[in-house]
Structure 1
Amino acid sequence: MKLNPFRKNRKNKIDFNLPKVYRTKTIRGVSMPGIIRNGTHFFVDLEVYEDGRVECWNFEDFEHFKKDVKRGWVSVSIPNRENISIHGLGSWSINDGIWIHNKESFIDYVWSVIKYLNPNLDNLYSYSEKRENNIIIGESGKGKIYKENKRIPDDPFPKKVIGKGANLFLKDKEDKYHLIRLDIYNEESIIVSRLEKSFEITLAQLEQMILEGKLLSELPNGVQVNILGLGNFKVEEKQYATRISEKLLEIKDTIRKLEGKPSTIETCIKIHQQYTANPTNDLREQLKEAYENIPEHERAYVGDMDVKDTIIRMIIYGEQEIENWSHYQLAKRMGEELPSISIPKPKND
């Protein structure tokens, strides 16, 4: 007798009481410069995939992407005297912007990228809303940065080496400034891209370029910055910026994580847990060293969303650090009872 695993039961329902499986599929794509208008203008790397989907903080299908461009969510320019915010670097007000695309030409350009990836336009994705228990199920479109490590020149199945991207500015031989991207893989392989021609450097060479002022995270007022594929603008005024020394710490931390080692944040959290369980002067000094090894712009992530790094700073630098906590400052302005945070003191003080 033939067994049908999908037989109907007496209630006329399919019996799916079978072992569960799932599968994943690799969808090729490329990263390209873009702008998201969400309150202010954010420089982003749009991720364009062969199935017609574009990751632009929304991730639906190409028709939705076109609507995002037409309504201004995906922007093709930044008005003069408004700000550009660049992840991991800072924010600047700009002037004299010259932009390559209008809305229609940008849509056409992205479509040409999709056709390059998928010449026959096979299996283009069509979005349909997914709900579970009346909750819309979203999907992240962020892909993985990678390079191919070929064993032979025509290797049909090259190994994918996973990396991570970071933004910096490059000052070229003609003293022109470019917003570039570092694709970081390990100490021996950092690819400098978002230029007419990419090139590869080591961590040691990157440090040397920083010393020589060729790679930087801050900009003098009045300089012109080029973004490949988008346009150029003149920097009018800095709102805030990350110091290059902090970016270097971030890049080194990225390499540690890519090598499977604990990040500086993870190391700090672990020592804080040890200190809480057994508060000693030695562990407080270890905590101080671990905390100060974290790039400044990432230190808030050692705590939760409310307290951030306040507890760590109170342990290291003194209980007066609570006065810098946003909740404390708000309560003080409102004339309300000031919040408190209890921290363990070293047993051998």
Structure 2
Amino acid sequence: MKLFSKIFNSGRASDPGALTRITRTEVLEGFAIPGIINNMQYHFTNLQVYSDGLIYCWEMVDLAMFKQKLDQGWVVTAIPDGAAISIFGLGHWYIEQGVWLHTKATLYQYVYALVKQLNPALENLQNCHGSSTRKVGNINVAKHSIPDAKPFYLDNPGTVFPDRIHGAQFHCFYRDTDTKTYLAQLSLYESGRIEITNLPGQKVFSFEDIRELVDKKTITTTLDPGETVTILNLGSFKIVSGAGVDILDKLNELTDKFRELNGQENSITKCARIFEAYKATPTLQLKNELKEAYEAVPEHQRMFVGNMDTKDYEVRQVIYGDSIKKEWQEAYGFPYPYADMPKPVDE
């Protein structure tokens, strides 16, 4: 007590010295629910609702700001007939005969109810005070970073402290036993456990089951004109036209992620590694290895073998030559902006 009094009751400011700066990481549970973002086109997305009252709708907002996003038309509850729905990693379809379940008011009430389910006392809710950014010097930075949301299941759920087993998530279409086609979420775990959700009832499979489900077209990326798609708790619509990624590419993407979850190199990482090796030592052997690695990447993911700017243009220039420059100019209308890739020294 004497030491406490000496430090805190001395009547003068105390110098704490050079203290160690620390941070802590806290796990917050939430729900991923189907939603639509209206940003030049209509994007299907998972709205992420967390127990502290934050909602991710392409930025982290509190409940009051989420209501503003609804009022401003950033988050919408319907897609007009004749417009298209874009689903990242899956495809793009024009729709008609949409039947939508929510108004702005009921979607807000649904999200609020989920927060309350996660946090019954509504304790310690986040308040962004009307802005998702803060000023650091002359730069606006996000108050809350983009969450790396991952699905999980509980291992040994009957124990006091069950382990959370995290996985990876994908969108797919699932033709259920009720004859309806659902826009579903597929969660994949390192054990090979597969969960299909956003259905009337969760389905659980093993990784070995996936090929059979694909062959039976139970899991698909291809929709027929006139086929009705149901998005649970959001609405339904009929397909007019459009296209999805090739189902075999999607299957390869799942296989890639399964390898990654089990500590193995995926096809994108392998391609990027060989590309760096080629740039350091451009040989014909590495060029051939790069071609093989690049063409093993699922087609809809090949843009990720480079950085955000170059995408896969530099890799393709190495493999396929200067025709890539012409392709760029025809697509964008100005000269190819990236550095020439070295030719193999032994070609």
Aligned position for 1:22 = 23
The two structures have a TM-score, normalised by structure 2, of: 0.89
Cα gap change, 1:157 to 1:325, in 2 (>3 Å): same
Find the partner of 2:249 among 246, 251, 257. 246
Deviation for aligned residue 1:182: 0.4
Task: Give the equivalent residue in structure 2 for 1:88.
Answer: 89
Shift of 1:274: 1.6
Secondary structure at the aligned position of 2:285 is classed as: helix
* Alignment of 1:79 onto 2:80: yes
The 2-side partners of 1:248 and 1:44 are apart by 21
Secondary structure of 1:186's partner?
Answer: coil
Cα shift readout 1:285-330 (whole Å, capped 9, x = no counterpart): 2111110111111112222334322222222223323222258851
Show the counterpart of 2:274.
271
Closer/same/farther in 2, CA of residues 137 and 317 from structure 1, 3 Å limit: closer
1:140 and 2:145 matched? yes
* SS across alignment from 1:331: coil
CA distance in 2, matches of 1:81, 1:328: 26
CA deviation digits over 1:56-91, x for unaligned, max 9?
112121111111112221111111111111111111
Letter in 1 for 2:72: R
Query: What are the superposed Cα offsets for residues 137-188 of structure 1, whole Å, 9 maximum, x if unpaired?
Result: 212242432323433x521211111111100111234543111110111362
CA 1:134–1:341: 2 relative to 1, 3 Å:
closer
Distance 1:115 1:140 in 2: 23
> Counterpart of 2:181?
177
Matching residue of 2:261? 258
Q: Which residue of 2 aligns with 1:165?
A: 169
Tell me: CA distance 1:206–1:131, structure 2 relative to 1, closer, same or farther (3 Å).
same
Does residue 58 (structure 1) correspond to residue 59 (structure 2)? The answer is: yes
CA change 1:249–1:7 in 2 (3 A) is farther
Q: Supply the distance in 1 between the matched residues of 2:149 and 2:87 (Cα, whole angstroms).
A: 20
Alignment coverage as a number of residue pairs: 340
1:281 to 261, 279, 284: 284
1:200, distance to aligned residue in structure 2 (A) = 1.3
Unaligned runs of 5+ in 1: 333-337
Q: Say if 2:296 is the partner of 1:293.
A: yes
Work out the CA distance in 1 between the residues paired with 2:106 and 2:194.
32
Give the aligned partner of residue 324 of structure 2: 321
Structure-2 separation of matches of 1:19 and 1:36: 42
1:7, 1:14 within 8 Å by CA — same for their partners in 2? Answer: no
Change (3 A) 1:13 1:67: farther
- Answer yes or no: is the 8 Å Cα contact 1:149–1:158 preserved in 2: yes
Q: In 2 relative to 1, CA 84–2 (structure 1 residues): closer, same or farther, beyond 3 Å?
A: same
Structure 2 letter corresponding to 1:344: P
SS in 2 for 1:137: strand
- Three-state SS of the structure 1 residue aligned to 2:61 is coil
Query: CA distance change for structure 1 residues 306 and 67 in 2, over 3 Å: closer, same or farther?
Result: closer
% of aligned pairs identical? 33
Q: AA paired with 1:171?
A: R
Instruction: Give the letter for the 2:153 counterpart.
Output: E
Contact kept? 1:144, 1:163, Cα under 8 Å: no
User: Do 2:184 and 2:197's aligned partners in 1 also have CA atoms closer than 8 Å?
Assistant: yes
Q: C-alpha displacement at 1:213, in angstroms?
A: 1.4
Q: CA RMSD in A?
A: 2.5
What is the identity, as a one-letter code, of the residue corresponding to 1:155?
A: T
Residue 89 of structure 1 contacts residue 218 of structure 1 at CA under 8 Å; is this kept in 2? no
How far the C-alpha of 1:201 sits from its partner, in A, is 1.3
Deviations 1:32-70 (A, max 9, x none): 111111111111111111111111112121111111112
Q: Is the 8 A contact 2:314 2:338 kept in 1?
A: no
